[in-house]
Amino acid sequence: MIKQIIGTTAVIATWVVPSIAMAQVSAIKLSHTIQLQPDSERLHPPVVSQVEIHPTGKLMAVAGDDHFVRIMEVATGRVIVTLKEHTDWVRAAQFSPNGKLLATAGNDRQVLLWDVQENIQLRSGSEFPSVITAVDFNHDGTQLAVVGFGESVVVYDANTGKKVHQWKTAGNDLRAVAFSPDGKLVAAAGRTGVIRVWDAVSGTQVKDIRAHNERIHGLAFSDDGAQIISGSEDRKLTVHNVNTGQELASMPTGDAKVFSVSLVQPRVIATGGSDNEVHLWSLDTYEEIDRLTGHDGTVSTLAAQGQTMVSSGFDTTIRVWDLGNSRQNPPPVLTVPVSRFSN
């Protein structure tokens, strides 16, 4: 798959957004903001469904409603390659833990697996029963869990593309799926507000956790796998014990419906939602510890790698945050070349 690269230009505006310290004081600063540009066939930049950072921390995959997946440099915003093989809205993208594979999926019901180094599409899974909303690799990248608007959770062998498991949930319209850190459990959730958990090896259903009263959009396990965290349209972030299903905390998110949940540090959860802000929560005190402003649209996706976190969503910008321990003066505005693959 060889294509000619042509150049365009994108502007990266950079400034620091003051954080609002809550129970604790964190030292998060905005590194830079990347304004996505529309494709030549569109009038508007893409709404971003998913941003995922490569395990090296240097690249990120950006998926959106323009049917494309952009592989971009985190530090500069330069587009390395644009993957254009999807035929509809791309809602999900994730790198395997070893960084060798990228899985992408969305409204066209296809799971595409890519060789990251060669930008080659390796295989397409058989057509999924519904629009796909979320995917997740297990701890060693050998399996990929997939969910969508239907009631099915499917686990594929990432090497062969063959189906390993297929389960049904308590209802349809699933929006989140997650493997536990050790790969032994799979959790999925959506419209019903119930988190259903399975044994990833045997395929046995382990338990149902009634976590919310409305649709769940985000799931994350704690770093030790002992807790599962969920965010919902009911404007709550909940934490449950994985083994017992017991609720450990229920944290109100104010006016924000929660659309994204991400473990950004070992004991810190980040959420994004309809209030256009990123909130950070301690898994030790179950309190909000920081609030990051600047987006002017719903924050629908969050990801973190090392000392870097990215946020994006409806406002068509990507904000890159430094999770380090020092604040610096705002760097200058940068203009960088952006490349994309021609058709």
- Write the pLDDT tens digit of every residue in 174-213: 999 999 999 999 999 999 999 999 999 999 999 999 999 9
Residue with tokens 């649209």: 297
Residues 6 or more apart whose CB falls under 8 angstroms from that of 262 comprise 218, 220, 269, 270, 271, 302, 303, 304, 309
Q: What is the DSSP string of 207-255?
A: EEEE--SS-EEEEEE-TTSSEEEEEETTSEEEEEETTT--EEEEEE-TT
Low-confidence ranges of the chain (pLDDT < 70): 1-26, 125-126, 325-343
Domain region containing 334: 5-341
pLDDT at 128: 86
pLDDT at 338: 36
Residues 6 or more apart whose CB falls under 8 angstroms from that of 102 comprise 61, 69, 71, 93, 94, 95, 96, 113, 114, 116
pLDDT at 44: 86
- Write the pLDDT tens digit of every residue in 237-276: 999 999 999 999 999 999 999 999 999 999 999 999 999 9
pLDDT at 48: 97
pLDDT at 4: 25
pLDDT at 125: 64
How many independent structural domains does the chain possess?
1
What the block records as the tokens of 144 is: 């990929």
CATH number where 52 lies: 2.130.10.10
Rounded to two decimals, what is the model's pTM?
A: 0.86
